[in-house]
Amino acid sequence: MLVVMSDLKPEHQKQKQKQQEQDVDLSVDLAGMVMANPVMTGSGTSGYGPEYAPFLEIASLGAFVTKAVTPGERKGNPPPRTVETAGGMLNAIGLANGGLERFLSDKVPYLSELGIPVIVNVAGRDPDEYAMVCRALDEVPCITGVELNVSCPNVSDGLDYGTDHARLESLVAHVRRDVKRAKVIVKLSPNVTDITATARAAINGGAEILSLINTLAGMAINVNTFRPMLANRTGGLSGPAIKPVAVCMVHKVYSKVAREHGVPIIGMGGIQNWRDAAEFMLAGASAVAVGTALFVDPTIPNQICGGLRTYLAGKGMSRLCELTGMLAN
Amino acid sequence: MMTMATKPGTSHPALFDGVVAKNVSICSEHFRLTIDCPPGVTDALNLARAGQFVHLAPPRGEAEGAAGGNMGTSSCPVPLLRRAFSIAGLRDSLSDGHFSGGGRQFDVMYRVVGTGTRWLSGLRAGDALSVMGALGNGFPISDTKRHAWLVAGGVGLPPMLWLAEALGDAVTIGDTTAAGKVDREVVAFAGARSVDLLALTVDDPSVVSRDAGVASLGAKEFADVGARVVIATDDGSLGFHGHVAGAMGEYYGQADVQTDDLVVYTCGPEVMMRAVAEFCVARSIECHVCMERAMACGTGTCQSCVVAVQDESATDGWRYELCCDDGPVFDAERLVWG
């Protein structure tokens, strides 16, 4: 029988350790957006809130990030929309959503009761569409931030802003002019040669927070039928398969652009547990988002918070925010 | 770890670790997996109905706060995402089941086609697995119609086994206080490409009776719950030679059944369900279709599993609903086939 060493510790030592874990401050402050803990949902992986309520206390999240909202309703792509690949999944949902009006009437009442920061992911076809949605959301008190989805690989117009620096800067500036209260977050695409250049463009346009990475463009083919596995032919790759790419990009953006401008990063891409979350924070993220892993286990955000407490107490650290960018040379 | 809460609508899902009671081969490609569930989820499972599904994954690595989805070993990779299976039956665990203090057990049936089902086929009694469920909405059960036909092809059989049981349990229909109460007649039409792929225990293939001019065989799974069985094989190796939808059509032609006294339930390959659904819609026969789609979350968040349904308020007359959350059972009249 395996004897765990911690079981042999005297009772007072165990109590002390537990107390140290409880004393760890998990709160983070992202450009004035204060979260009780660093774990949020990745856009498009937890609907608009109530879907995971049977399994996860949504109010226990650091922040809730909604699925994308566009000005009008979008049906999205035909099925199949997702396929599992080695260590990950491809999706091509196509921004399916009921549109701004239905979001405001049907989804906001639930979100307004959560009592945690709520971030709404926003997509549009041109700067005016983005600005129109963001203006409306800016007037809803419970909405703490808008996350500009400039990097969805699954709609024909999705990647243009995320890969063209000049257009991205002008789009962000356009939105910033109209948004008076909510934080403006820009979600960066990994489908670029140099993500630090897009990060710089977003910051120059007025981004207050960066989130990265969105999915990597990918494709899978059925060799029996010769057909693509997704009806949309290509999709976005997420899950643990992309985590090293994401950590690398967070590290580059943090060390070359974001740190000097004081712009916090929400890190995401394949996070499944507290170790993954800690990795992103060491690379420079101030908060993290869990996406694909929620499909497997919606309770992961709570598990990550518990794991981070134990980890930080073990390191003799009392504040999680001190972990950001602590990567050793 | 166990999480339970009430979800609006007909689903009351729980997330828990179950333990394999049995994992047995039932024909050349299909397996039946029986999972013991802890007593704490009995209430949630008791609300489940035929047509609902469970979402299965390797057990969570709780101690490290780790999700599964590691790469496994090269010889036996484990799936990243959960896999959805219709519940094929639900009952009390045996007294020597894994969990002390009772609990329920349920069956799923599967055919090994990829990473997820290969992982399932390697499970042995005593192995743990993570269960999310029951999810989705079950088959509506009519309490007025005297004839219920269950049309299943291939791996569409599992929900029909449980449905036949449920229909058998509710066998008396109409006003039970009236003198003229009648029993419901349940006929199962089970199709497979070939007899060796038929996931049923056929009593004796040589004992064939003729029902409505179509060969009818005894199959233990349905006979036990009082349902008659018509078997169809594509290659004619047993029963009706041809597709199961064709067998149902032929049976209908011979049977003395009023369309408004008949309800049809179907599950299986989409081409077969479409044939059954269109047959029924053309004759105004009530028909419920259990759809299958690739799913990621199973709970209405990821929007993967869309099914096109009619919507008069939409400019082009249709919209998408979610197989997991709005289905998987759909009224045949609403479906828009691709």
Relative to beta strand A209-212, strand B185-192 is unpaired
State how far the Cα of B186 lies from the Cα of B188, in Å rounded to an integer: 7
Place of tokens 């401050």: A25
Mean pLDDT across chain A: 93
In the prediction, which pLDDT does A6 show? 56
Residue A296 and residue B67: Cβ atoms within 8 Å? Answer: yes
A69 DSSP β-pair partners:
A122
User: Of A46, A81, A240, which has the smallest distance from its Cβ to B306's Cβ?
Assistant: A81
Q: Are residues B312 and B243 in the same domain?
A: no
For residue A317, the tally of other CB atoms under 10 A from its CB is 17
pLDDT at A155: 55
Q: Which two tokens stand for residue A61?
A: 């999240």
Please report, rounded to a whole number, the percentage of residues in chain A having pLDDT higher than 90. 85
Element (H, E) at B266: strand B262-267
Q: Sort out which chain B residues have CB atoms less than 8 A from A26's CB and list them.
A: none
A157 in contact with B at a CB cutoff of 8 Å?
no
How crowded is residue A238: how many other Cβ atoms within 10 Å of its Cβ? Answer: 32
Which of A152, A248, A305, A321 is an active site residue? A152
- Other CB atoms within a 10 A radius of the CB of residue B25 amount to 11
CB of A61 within 8 A of CB of A116? Answer: yes
Cβ contacts of A44 on chain B, cutoff 8 Å: 302-303
CATH code for the domain in which residue B195 is found: 3.40.50.80
What is the ipTM for the molecules in this complex?
0.90
In chain B, residues with a C-beta closer than 8 Å to the C-beta of A86 are 71, 77
| Distance (Å, whole) CA A178 – CA A135 | 6
Tell whether B102 and B122 lie within a shared domain.
yes
Whether the predicted pLDDT of A98 surpasses 70:
yes
Measured between alpha carbons, how far is A326 from A251 in angstroms, rounded to an integer?
11
Give the tokens for residue B268: 């299986």
CB contact under 8 A, A79 and B294: yes
A249 interface with B at CB cutoff 8 Å: no
What backbone torsions phi and psi does residue A218 show, to the nearest 5 degrees? -155, 170
Residue B136 sits at the chain A interface (C-beta within 8 Å): no
- Spatial CA neighbour of A246 closest among A209, A227, A272: A272
Residue B5: inside a domain: no
Q: Which two tokens stand for residue B255?
A: 């049977």
Q: Which residues of A touch B8 (CB under 8 A)?
A: 50
pLDDT at B220: 78
**How far is the alpha carbon of B157 from chain A, nearest alpha carbon, in Å?**
23
Angle between helices A243-253 and A195-205 (to 10 degrees): 50
Q: Do A84 and B81 lie within an 8 Å CB cutoff? A: yes
**CA A190/CA A163 separation, integer angstroms:** 9
Give the residues across from B128 on adjacent strands. B19
Task: Look at A83 and B294 and tell me if their CB atoms are within 8 Å.
Answer: yes
Do B299 and B284 lie in one domain? The reply is no
Interface of A with B in 293-312 (CB under 8 A): 293-300, 303-304, 306-307
Q: What is the pLDDT of residue B225?
A: 82
Minimum Cα–Cα distance from B60: chain A residue: A297
Give me the CATH number covering residue B322: 2.10.240.10
CATH architecture assignment, domain A33-76+94-220+238-320: Alpha-Beta Barrel (3.20)
> How distant is the Cα of A37 from the closest Cα of chain B, in angstroms?
16
Task: Express as a percent the part of chain A with pLDDT over 70.
Answer: 95
Residue A187 and residue A121: Cα distance in Å, rounded?
A: 9
| Residue after which a domain boundary falls, among B74, B100, B135 | B135
Residue type, B159: P
Positions in chain B whose pLDDT score sits under 70: 1-11, 61-77, 170-182, 203-218
Q: Which of B6, B16, B81 best tests the A interface by mutation, with the highest count of A CBs <10 A?
A: B81
Residue pointed to by tokens 């029951």: B134
- Contact residues, chain B, for A79 at CB < 8 Å: 293-294, 304-307
Check if A142 is active-site.
no
The nearest alpha carbon in chain B to A88 belongs to: B80
Taking CA atoms, what residue in B is nearest to A46? B301
Q: Is the peptide bond before A80 cis (omega within 30 degrees of 0)?
A: yes
8 Å CB contact of A297 and B338:
no
Q: Is B26 on the interface with A (CB under 8 A)?
A: no
More confident residue, A224 or B78: A224
The answer on pLDDT for A4 being more than 80 is: no
Residues 52-71 of B with CB under 8 A from A: 57, 60-62, 64-71
Q: Which residues of A are less than 8 Å from B11 in CB distance?
A: 54
* Among chain A residues, CA nearest to B3: A55
* CATH number, domain with residue B19: 2.40.30.10
* pLDDT at residue number B64: 42
Q: Do B114 and B159 have their domain in common?
A: no
Nearest by CB to B303, from A76, A88, A239: name it: A76
Decide if B282 touches A, using CB distance below 8 A.
no
Query: What's the average model confidence in pLDDT over A286-292?
Result: 97
The DSSP-derived string for B291-317 is: -----SSSSSSS--SEEEEE-TTSTTS
> Using the beta-carbon criterion (under 8 Å), do A294 and B1 form an inter-chain contact?
no
What distances in angstroms separate CA A45 from CA A8, A52, A70, A191, B23, one per listed residue?
41, 10, 17, 20, 33
Indicate whether B242 belongs to any domain: yes
Burial of A106 (0-12, 13-18, 19+ CB in 10 A): exposed
User: Does residue B125 sit within a domain?
Assistant: yes
Residue A191 has pLDDT above 70, yes or no: yes
Chain B: closest CA distance from residue A312 (Å): 14
Q: How many domains in chain B?
A: 3
Cis bond leading into A304, ω under 30°? no
Cα(B125)–Cα(A135) distance, integer angstroms: 58
Interface test with B, best of A82, A237, A242, A276 (most B CBs within 10 A): A82
Containing B165, the helix (H) or strand (E) segment is helix B157-169
Sign of CA dihedral B45, B46, B47, B53: positive
Print the domain residue range for B199. Answer: 147-290
Looking at the fold, whether B276 and B297 belong to one and the same domain comes out as no
Q: Looking at B274, B290, B306, which one is the last position of a domain?
A: B290
Res B143: pLDDT: 76
Q: Which of B9, B307, B61, B159 is nearest to A296 (CA)?
A: B61
- State the average pLDDT for chain B: 84
Distance CA B284, CA B279 (A): 9
Q: What is the helix (H) or strand (E) element at residue B232, kind and residue range?
A: strand B228-233
Please report which residue ranges of B217-269 form alpha helices under DSSP H. Answer: 220-223, 244-254
Question: B140 lies in a domain?
Answer: no
**A292 has a pLDDT exceeding 60:** yes
Token pair listed for A223: 């060799």
Give residue B255's Cα distance to chain centre. Answer: 26
Can you give the pLDDT at residue B2?
43
Q: Whole-angstrom Cα distance, residue B262 to residue A329?
A: 74
* A37 against B174, higher pLDDT: A37
